[in-house]
Amino acid sequence: MFRSVPAGPVEVTLDSHPLEVRGSYNRPVLGCSSDVQTLEPGAYIIHSPNFDRHNPQNYTNDYTCTYQLRLKYHGILRFDCFDFQLEDSDGCSKDRLKVTYGSQALISCGRNTPRTLYGESLDIDFTTDSSGTDTGFLCTVMSKVSTSSSGLFCGRGFLEPGTYSLVSLFYPDNYGTSLYCRWDLSANLLTYSMEFSCRDFDMVSWDGSCEWDYLEVNGKKYCNGNPPPGEDSPLPVGQHVEVVYETPDLPDKTRKGFNCTVVVK
């Protein structure tokens, strides 16, 4: 059975929380369910029972909670944890949080906060045994839409010699929220070479960090304060380049975005 979850009513307040959920940006809380939950674009919260950042209380023993999360539209799901403190054990044999993303799984316990994960689907299982608890966890799941503006569409491409545009959604107006676009581009022949550059660039920098709004080129992230190469100094990328851009669900924190090019010679 499927259950659609809109990015609707606010159910929790998280003041002074890191970046994605801080300030007045409140998020709906996802409940445990044996049904598949399909997520509208936006950010959602999952947390352990009794979790309270301001008045920590331990979660319960002998507890099981399952989330089966899917996208409503083509895109990506992003999973992050901001608070994480479970009972520790060898091999996470007691209390644990398991996140399955695609064909891979990450199991976490103790104070080993799970790393950021991406997947077109996320299956999350929180289980506790009959002894020992801790303050638990607070994590977010962001449902992001894969879309771009004019120029090349998000996805894979094999390119002949020429100049190709990579442009953020709505450019030159401010880009949208909850976006994720990945270009996986290769020169059509090994004798060709490629260069990447941007003629215009404006993406939010969070206290000098390119964690939430960014343009990533072959693994290196760029945002304001750390802009990508300009047209006067294009970046040689050989026969292949992977470009990703991502934005959070913060509508009043968007900027103009970018207008970049890949040149194949």
pLDDT for residue 186: 97
Instruction: Pinpoint the alpha helices (H) of the chain.
Output: none
Q: What is this structure's pTM?
A: 0.83
The pLDDT value recorded for residue 207 is: 72
CA-nearest of 174, 150, 144 to 246 is 144
Q: Domains of the chain by range and CATH? A: 2-144 (2.60.120.290), 155-264 (2.60.120.290)
Quote the pLDDT of residue 68: 97
* CA atoms in the 13 A half-sphere facing the CB of 86: 31
pLDDT score, position 144: 94
What is the reported pLDDT for 219? 95
pLDDT of residue 18: 42
Residue 77 is predicted with a pLDDT of: 96
Residue 147's pLDDT is what?
A: 81
pLDDT at 49: 93
User: Cα–Cα distance between 258 and 213 in angstroms, integer?
Assistant: 12
Beta carbons within 8 Å of 167's beta carbon, 6+ residues apart: 148, 149, 150, 151, 257, 258, 259, 260
Low-confidence stretches of the chain (pLDDT beneath 50): 1-25
- Angle at alpha carbon of residue 196, lines to 161 and 120, rounded to 5°: 100
